A and B are shown apart, each in its own frame.
Chain A
Amino acid sequence: MSRLSERPVTAVVGEARPHESAALHVTGRALYTDDIALRTPYLLHAHPVCAPHAHAMITRLDPKPAYDVPGVVRVLTADDVPGINDAGTKHDEPLFPTEVMFHGQAVAWVLGESLEAARIGATAVEVDYEPLPSILTVVEAIEQESFQGAQPRLERGDVAAGLAGSTHVFEGEIDFAGQEHFYLETHASLATVDDDGQVFIQSSTQHPTETQEIVAHVLGIASHQVTVQCLRMGGGFGGKEMQPHGFAAVAALGARLTGRPVRVRLTRQQDMTMSGKRHGFHATWKVGFDDDGLLQALEATLTSDGGWSLDLSEPVLSRALCHVDNAYWIPHVRVDGRIARTHKTSQTAFRGFGGPQGMLVIEDILGRAAPVLGVPAHELRRRNFYVEGQATPYGQPVRHPDRLDRAWQQVLESSDFERRREEIARANAENPHRKRGLAITPVKFGISFNFTSFNQAGALVHVYKDGSVLINHGGTEMGQGLHTKMLQVAATALGLPIERVRLAPTRTDKVPNTSATAASSGADLNGAAVKNACEQIIARLAPVRAQLGVATTWEELVRTAYHERIQLWAAGFYKTEGLSWDAVAARGEPFKYFAYGVAAAEVSVDGFTGAYEVDRVDIVHDVGDSLSPLVDIGQIEGGFVQGVGWLTLEDLRWDVSDGPGRGRLTTPSASTYKLPSLSEMPADLRVTLLDRATEDGAVYGSKAVGEPPLMLAFSVREALREAVAAFRPPGESVELASPATPEAVFWAIEGGRD
């Protein structure tokens, strides 16, 4: 066992603890970025001027009329940018554009004494546009060859030979939707300047370092003149990995120009209209099976809808390619990836980061193929599982495939799968108008950033003279319980009760050059860095303890060490060893390990309406040795339900007509975009953590948990497919749209009638 994963006998990690801010959450005392803004005197409020075209050139922009609106203080335009007019890292995202690239894009911002003044001011800014042709769907983009970024190919073996040697070959196509993050807290930034012109930004960001860098380059100043702090986020889910930068830059620019604090806080409609989402994908595929239903070859082209700029589309696509196998051994593989450029928001990271999209393709293939192969879908899936000694198409050995088998078996047993399947078949035969479906699906998800450099983290641990401990690390808290885990890690590493440890907000002037809190890696990376810092301190204290004796209290130990002039704080660092990734060749070992999980879901569907309910879900998920079981179970359940939302309910629609509203998001609000509510909660949800699951490569034997459970939701989609199939003649392949809304389910049922 590695030193990193070794867990002391008495450890605070592993205890089921509520979120460290739970008491503040429930009493309304927990502060978010905009709560601070409203407590800031002399505050200015920012409101965007949004373009009413999907694609257009700006021929004239006159801010002057806005200054006639009482309370308008300043209009920000491209002319005000002292540095680089770019809100991203790829230099393809002008903060103040001259060419409008999506409906609702901000072309200028108005600062006002009140939000109402800024809003009215924004309507007064005069902008002339010359509309240009626009591309809205992936299919349109493919037809017009509108692509951006790299076009990677993942290849192993000889696909042509594999297909030729297959006894069953199927082809298909699927176009599936993206997803709005709908973090409850919309994008928010608050910028202030000090006497020296240094900028301090409170931002709801998953990536404070990158927010800092973008603000610095927009302002034309160095990183050391910009500090970004993130107290906590009201949800992130990937939507605050790159998207906050531009909003922070607007606030910072406004603060520099006016000398006053500037608040940017988007309304829900602005947030949904202006910020990036999960990529929808289009996929074409050809697959071969042998007579036993074993996958022989897969040829596919995955085209993601990148929106107007690259943002994180390339790494998202990489991860999609790396997860097209999910848990299945496919000897011959060739998958091409492309990123469509469309006139929509720039799509971005979202929990799973392409993994769910890659997996959807193979799970859809297996679900569609099973009835034609005459093999029950759950049996088809199990037969194709990886076994020890096999490697992924990109060449990474699949370690611990036995855990998948174990989880699968455990779910089969705990869910009483076979017996319920028979019972459901009987019930379905008797009820012509309501059918039930039961399905079980696996998840294998690679942990680490595909981009190797990001797999590093820093921490700062202070031990004060009274023995109290303050920790700082580079990760951000968005509800995932990272700070709770970090407190547990520090308490464990220092051998202290958790009450002795406090955690300070994430700030770029405490821990620099941090990676995004993303890729589920927050606890792995920052936990190891915190542990490293704590261990440095413990090592320095060891001689003092030896001198004072083991019975010495912590406080006495610390006091003595101080007087002996021993450094009581430490900067910790960690980098994940053993990773490699060649993005061009799409080969290497980009992941430290795989997280596994299995879910069985039962649904019931009304044949008259397509409406359905999720009746029961059984999950066994692998989190290694849990750092914090209550947090981990929360991540599994929350991720699962969010995945169910993506696959069944959440329905992004754009105006694709040729009318004046072309390109407008027609579901830009909570009343038009429905995410799961209490009514979508499975009636019976049973989550178990896989036991005997120590992960040797991660902090205290744990595993990452943020993203993988989202993909357990395929069980619901496949259960819906089973239920739809029960309305139709046996042996028929069932195609199901994604999201499988009640309407989509209804048409899937109808498709097989008559």
Chain B
Amino acid sequence: MACEDGRAMEVRLTLNGKPVRVEVDPRERLLDTLRYRLGLTGSKEGCGEGECGACTVLMDGVPANSCLVLTAQCRGRSVRTIESVDAKALGPMLASGATQCGACTPGVVMTALWVKENPGLRDSHTLRELMAGNLCRCTGYDGIIDGLHAWVESDARSGGAA
């Protein structure tokens, strides 16, 4: 299979639990497909170089920077975005000062969700290490880490999100 400029490339993937078929330019980044083709503008572009994490989505269940992924490479993959998240399920994350201006928040939430849903990660990593790919210029991080800590410790009450 090959695809060139100007010729749409068909990509089938699972997006937020539903099968999706898109026709994209081979140059197109996943972030742009989400925002401009599918109208899912929750994922933000911060740095465009895989540093800030504002565009974080879960690919096959693991955080990835959607600014560094070609949509053409998402064939057969499962992608989950911030739009799949029920805010009410975020528990203590909502009440800890984990967000201020909000630019980093969609990415922070996706990484936090992954941490929450994979308790085994905390056996090998600190919360700060797991969250290191999400830069925030407002909170000083303590609110994010405190909120996530309270959330992962509250398993019985809040359950998994979305």
Q: Do A and B actually bind?
A: no
Question: Taking beta carbons and an 8 Å cutoff, which residues of A are in contact with B?
Answer: none
